[in-house]
Structure 1
Amino acid sequence: MTTENIWRRTLAIATIAVAAVALSGCSILDQVTNQISDAVDPGAGTTQDIFSLVIGDCEVGNQDGGEVSSTKTVDCAEPHDAEVYAASYMAEGDFPGDSAIEDQATADCYAEFGTFIGADYDDSVYDFSWYYPTEGSWSEGDREILCLVYDPSGNQISGSLAGAAE
C-alpha cells in the first residue's frame, strides 16, 4: 500500500468516525478511535486479553475510562502509553463496590509507585491509573488491581520507567 493510499484510507476512516460520533453519540468513541489507530498503524501492538497482563507489560492506546476486556501491548523499548508496574488483590467476599475498590487501588498503586519509579509520586513527572475488577468480573473471580504508570502530558514513553527516578 502506498503512503498516499494510507493517508486516503485514514482520512476516509476519520470522516466516517466523525459522522458516526455525531449521529450515534459518544458511546462508540473508544471503538472508533481504536479503528482509526489500527488504520494508521495496523501493526502497532499485539491485542491482549486484559486478564493476561502482567507487571512489565507496556500498552499502547490506553483506554480512557470505561470497561475494557483487551488492550494492545508492545515491547517496552517501543513507544507506548503506559506500563504495568504493580499488582494487588482485593479480599474475597461480596463485591465491595466501585468506591472501595478505587480506594484500595489508589492506596496500593501509590504505595508501589516510588519503589518502581525510584522517586516519590509527589515529586514525579509521571502519574498512575489502574485496571480493577468490575461487578461482572468480580462474579467470575477477578480480584486483581493492576497499576499503570503513564506520562500525564500525553507523551509516549520509550523504555521501561523502572528506576527512572523522575
Structure 2
Amino acid sequence: MTARRLLPLAIAAVVAALTLSGCSVINDILPKPAETRDSQTGEIVGGGTTNVFTLAVGDCLNDESSSDEVSEVPTVPCTEPHTYEVYGEVTIPGDEWPGDDALTQQADDGCYAQFQPFAGIAYEDSTLDFNYYTPTQASWEEMNDRLVTCVIFDSGATTGSLAGAAR
C-alpha cells in the first residue's frame, strides 16, 4: 500500500479506538475551559480549570483528585457549592530542596498560623479543617516554586466564603 492509502486507515483506526474506549479518553484529550475572572477584582466569576500555580487567596475549588501531584484544579465562583477555598499562602525559604518531611512541616505550620486570622476561630475550636498544595521536588528545582497554597474546608460542600465563619 502507498502512504496515501495508509493515512485513511490510520485515521479510521484512531477514531475506532476512541469510540471503543469511551468518553473518558476523549475528555482527557480535549482542552478544558479556563476559569473566568473579574477584570477589576480578580475574583472567579465563571468556573473552569485553573493552574495550581495561579490560585489566589479567595479562590474556591472542587478538587477531588486522588493524585499526589496536581497541576490543574476545577474552580468555581464562591457563590456556587465548592469543597475548598484558598485562604493563605506560605513561601518556603531556601535554595536547597528541604525534603518532603521538612516541607510538609513548614506547610502545616504556616497554614495553621493563618487559619485563625482567616476563619475567625482557633483551629482546635473549629469544625473546619485545612490542607495545602506544596511544591514538588521537580517544581522546586525546575521552576523555583516555593509557594504553599493553604485551603480551608468543611465536611461537606460550602456555598459562600468561610472567611470569618467562626465555626
TM-score by length of 1: 0.71
Conserved in 2, the CA contact under 8 Å of 1:60 and 1:74? Answer: yes
Match of 1:146 among 146, 149, 158: 149
Q: Residue 118 of structure 2 aligns to a residue in which SS?
A: helix
Conserved in 2, the CA contact under 8 Å of 1:45 and 1:60? Answer: no
Task: Tell whether 2:166 aligns with 1:165.
Answer: yes
Conserved in 2, the CA contact under 8 Å of 1:129 and 1:147? Answer: yes
- Taking the aligned partners of 2:82 and 2:127, their CA distance within structure 1 comes to 16
Specify which structure has the higher proportion of helix.
Answer: 1
Task: Tell whether 2:113 aligns with 1:111.
Answer: yes
For residues 13-28 of structure 1, the aligned pairs below 5 Å read: none
TM-score by length of 2: 0.71
- Cα displacement string for residues 43-84 of structure 1 (whole angstroms, at most 9, x for unaligned residues): x93101110001000001343451000001111111001000
Task: Tell whether 2:132 aligns with 1:133.
Answer: no
Q: Residue in 2 aligned with 1:21?
A: none
Runs (5+) with no aligned partner, structure 1: 1-15, 18-30, 36-43
List structure 1 segments (4+ residues) > 3 angstroms apart after TM superposition: none
Moved more, 128-137 or 89-98: 89-98
Q: Which has the larger radius of gyration?
A: 2
Q: Residue in 1 aligned with 2:41?
A: none
Which amino acid in 1 is paired with 2:148?
Answer: I
* RMSD, aligned α-carbons: 2.1
Conserved in 2, the CA contact under 8 Å of 1:62 and 1:82? Answer: no
Q: Residue 159 of structure 1 aligns to a residue in which SS?
A: coil
Aligned residues: 127
- Taking the aligned partners of 2:74 and 2:130, their CA distance within structure 1 comes to 18
Q: How much identity, in percent, do the aligned residues show?
A: 43
Match of 1:67 among 66, 69, 94: 69
- Taking the aligned partners of 1:65 and 1:83, their CA distance within structure 2 comes to 19
Runs (5+) with no aligned partner, structure 2: 1-21, 29-45
- Taking the aligned partners of 1:107 and 1:96, their CA distance within structure 2 comes to 15
Distance apart, 1:138 and its partner CA = 0.3
Task: Tell whether 2:58 aligns with 1:56.
Answer: yes
Task: Tell whether 2:80 aligns with 1:78.
Answer: yes
